[in-house]
Structure 1
């Protein structure tokens, strides 16, 4: 936007300068509140759980997520700002909201944060401060709320059914499916559990929770501070004595820390190395159907299935999109085409192309989808198989759109030479596209077919954050 410069009297100029100083102070106030943020380390019978917390209500009280400290034999609270630590114990919990109140053995000299109500459908900018993935130095990240049709979203807005909720969290009983939440469209990482979410004035509006997965997609939410914190100190609910299932789900192994710089300042980071068996344990029914179909084809073409295959999961730090590739496959970014790429090259060639585009409007997301499809399919070379129709699933309430397409090239006898599977997603405004292209399929051996179906399923796993 072009600015028109006008002349002002000296008094007006001083007033404007003062307003600018106030704005700068306001923009930094969440950083001041971050001084009251602490890291939480809890040792349980299942190992060590890491999370974030904050000083609240009084100087010797800290709040964190219950699943971080449930069943802990020892809890350590550390202040990076004061370079000091204290032992702690759980003195109260609110199971519905997955919250725990800790009593510190030593006052760390931190100022309690102040909570404030917020609109779950707010479009304002917020900041989450904490220790994602157990980083050594606390970091603050901007986050966005997702819109809901209702004014008071609950976990029922995220999980399709009580059985799905139970499949992921088991019988532990916290949080509750009725818990009021803030829907978070940005990513919440392991280690963000219990992390404070501040508005620009430095007021506490939410507490990071979620961070679970359905398949490889992150499930994100936060707890509204003004709803549950007032009742936490006086709660008489039973304190869990067993370690949380939730906590163990967040302890994901990563083989070889890898980051890939993409568009602008965006970074794609490897966050998880796992087996498909573990991924499928939390997958929904539609993903299980796709797996069964592709696994059966792998058995027919390659003589073996891929249910025990290992994959690497990457996450985009701006959109929260997650993608998967077979373990050890390197991902590179091609700035000219704006595509992430990996490939398998032995007895034929298999290329996998991925694009993640953050947009401001639905129309931009749809345009990104059209551009990606045009880039991959081009003009006239690829054929449509009438026996494999295009699939289109629209969810206007989100809004989101999922499109899958199969294309092939053929010789004079209509025998396939190359095959392409496209998966295209627009989630609200953002776009995620994957294409798996098998070239010279007539030269494929068993291993090439195995890798093709595995890469195809990896492409089907790609998804945005579930919120």
Structure 2
């Protein structure tokens, strides 16, 4: 008897058969047989068998405007085992849903529905193909407390962009979780593998995102629809779930975490919904001579923590010592990044201090002073994410005088589970360089000016990228 109990305890610790993890793995395995990878033009997303083996559901925005739709059955090894053309049979525009008829269906069991209202903070799993990965993957989500309509959770700027669908007044599932492009149309499953909702979309909240789903009860409305024509609507640039192309770059493994390039965006697109409009406006004013509206950025995310970093388009990212380092070919300017797991606010503060110690390298003969013009007096808390932004001058004593050496602009952010540090580093902020830079900006004719002005523009791009870096919001 003791041996049996010990075996059960060990199975719980190791996740062997009998554990909750193993039970969910079995649920996912069974449900995955009803999962489909949907390709429509260059869009790649998710879908699932519903009502009978010849029909499937996905998000309307995935297929709208696309002349050819293909559904792939994918095996556990990530290989496509069968494919079929699909045609639109029913459209429920207000809920951003479409029912597809599969022309050569496989004998797969449709997923069952759970129409009971989900509880706040209850855990579910979206099962689909995030970022167009070869095989399916599960992503944990929870129902947020707060608004249950798009018009109650989206800022006015974005609401104005949603001109056709989805409806901003229908009931939605306000989701907490790191949902990314490719999961549009994926089923959201309960612990028994029943569909409680369908992943619909995401809003670009600056560089990061918030996501929502459509309740499973809307599938009944879809089944009753007598509309079969695609609306051909113009998509909102802020809805990133409609943005995925089929050539997503592979994840870069950097230290203990990986960065996946999600998308590229202009400064204007990121600025429209950034979390700190006042600070952003002040920085933009300082860099107005470079026309920041023309800047372009690559957005990378750690898919486990959701930490999102924004770097100048085309920048190279490598692991160097304690940091992930971002370079653009300018030896004077760089960005440095750290991400650490934390379990408490106190640990987040401690990890932020470690980041700053390693970044600023204080010591004998060194003075590190905050720049009050660009340093927050206190942290900003917004929807479960705590952020503080700072600027630092690093100077060294030479010949009895304090000489400026480096300048830093940093963002520290935590979502309670991870601590992110991102900094732009000016490796030469000496008096001589700064004075020459100012003179060049004022029109000095000197052969050194072209390189200095380019370097200053690189600095502007990096500082604004640091300003945009953060975490997806956690709650409303």
TM-score, normalised by the number of residues in structure 1: 0.81
Give the secondary structure class of the aligned counterpart of 1:183: strand
Whether the 8 Å contact between 2:263 and 2:298 is mirrored in structure 1 is: yes
* Deviation per residue, 1:133-173 (Å, 9 max, x gap): 333x232133232642x4x7333554233x33223xx3123
Q: Who is 2:253 aligned against?
A: 261
**For the Cα contact (< 8 Å) 2:384–2:473, is it kept in 1?**
no
Aligned residue for 2:440?
Answer: none
Q: Contact 1:220–1:465 (CA<8 Å) still a contact in 2?
A: no
Q: Does 1:201 align with 2:195?
A: no
Task: State the Cα distance separating 1:235 from its structure 2 match.
Answer: 3.1
- Within the candidate set 440, 452, 463, 1:456 is matched to 463
Are 1:423 and 2:422 an aligned pair?
A: no
1:108 aligns with 2:106: yes
Name the CA distance, whole Å, in 2 between partners of 1:340 and 1:173.
40
1:7 paired residue number: 2
Equivalent residues in 2 for 1:16-31 (5 A)? 21-23=17-19, 24-31=22-29
Structure 2 partner of 1:340: 324
| Shift of residue 315, structure 1, vs aligned partner | 1.3
Q: 2:175 aligns with which of 183, 187, 193?
A: 183
Counterpart of 2:32 in structure 1 is 34
Structure 1 pair 34–343 and aligned structure 2 pair: CA distance change class (3 A): same
Contact 1:253–1:272, Cα closer than 8 Å, also in 2: no
Relative distance call for 1:385 and 1:204 in structure 2 (3 A) is same
What is the deviation of 1:277? 4.3
Which has the higher mean CA deviation after the structures are superposed, 240-249 or 201-210?
240-249
8 Å Cα contact 1:253/1:274 also seen in 2 = no
Deviations 1:203-241 (A, max 9, x none): 22332222442332233222332x322332113568542
CA distance in 1, matches of 2:429, 2:233: 50
In 2, the alpha carbon distance for the partners of 1:160 and 1:275 equals 19
Q: Does 1:56 align with 2:50?
A: yes
Aligned to 2:235: 245
Equivalent pair of 1:57/1:112 in contact (CA under 8 Å) = yes
Q: In the alignment, what sits opposite 1:3?
A: none
Q: Distance in 1 between matches of 2:350 and 2:62?
A: 42
Q: Which residue of 2 aligns with 1:298?
A: 287
Counterparts of 1:279-318 in structure 2 under 5 Å?
A: 279-280=270-271, 282-284=272-274, 286-287=276-277, 290-299=279-288, 304-318=290-304
CA distance in 2, matches of 1:244, 1:425: 35
CA–CA distance in structure 2, aligned partners of residues 175 and 213 of structure 1? 18
Change (3 A) 1:85 1:368: same
446-455 or 412-421: which moved more?
Answer: 412-421
Structure-1 separation of matches of 2:40 and 2:249 = 24
Match of 2:392 in 1: 407
Question: Structure 1 residues 381 and 115 mapped into 2: Cα distance closer, same or farther (>3 Å)?
Answer: farther
Change (3 A) 1:133 1:183: same
Q: CA deviation at 1:278?
A: 4.3
Q: Name the CA distance, whole Å, in 2 between partners of 1:18 and 1:399.
A: 35
Task: Rate the CA distance shift 1:115–1:381 in 2: closer, same or farther, 3 A.
Answer: farther
Structure 1 contact 53–63 (Cα < 8 Å) conserved: yes
2:263 matches 1:272: yes
Q: CA distance change for structure 1 residues 341 and 158 in 2, over 3 Å: closer, same or farther?
A: farther
Is the aligned partner of 1:217 residue 2:208?
yes
Q: Secondary structure at the match of 1:68?
A: helix
Query: How far 1:360 sits from its partner (Å)?
Result: 3.8
Q: In the TM superposition, what is the alpha-carbon distance from 1:28 to its structure 2 partner?
A: 1.7
Change (3 A) 1:80 1:269: same
The range that moved more, 405-414 or 208-217, is 405-414
**TM-score, normalised on structure 2?**
0.79
Q: Using a 3 Å threshold, how does the CA distance of structure 1 residues 16 and 317 change in structure 2: closer, same or farther?
A: closer
Where do 5+ consecutive residues of structure 2 fail to align?
A: 438-451
Q: Could you tell me whether the CA contact under 8 Å between 1:208 and 1:221 is conserved in 2? A: yes
Aligned twin of 2:448: none
2:429 aligns to what?
441
Query: Is 2:70 the counterpart of 1:76?
Result: yes
The offset of 1:454, in angstroms, is 1.0
Seen in structure 2, the aligned counterparts of structure 1 residues 253 and 193 have a Cα distance that, compared at 3 Å, is: closer
- The two structures, once aligned, show a CA RMSD in angstroms of 3.5
Corresponding position: 1:320 with 2:306: yes
Q: CA deviation at 1:268?
A: 0.8
Q: Which runs of 5+ in 1 are unaligned?
A: 1-5
Higher alpha-carbon deviation: 14-23 or 426-435 = 14-23
Match of 1:145 among 142, 146, 158: 142
How many residues of Structure 1 are paired with residues of Structure 2 in the alignment? 437
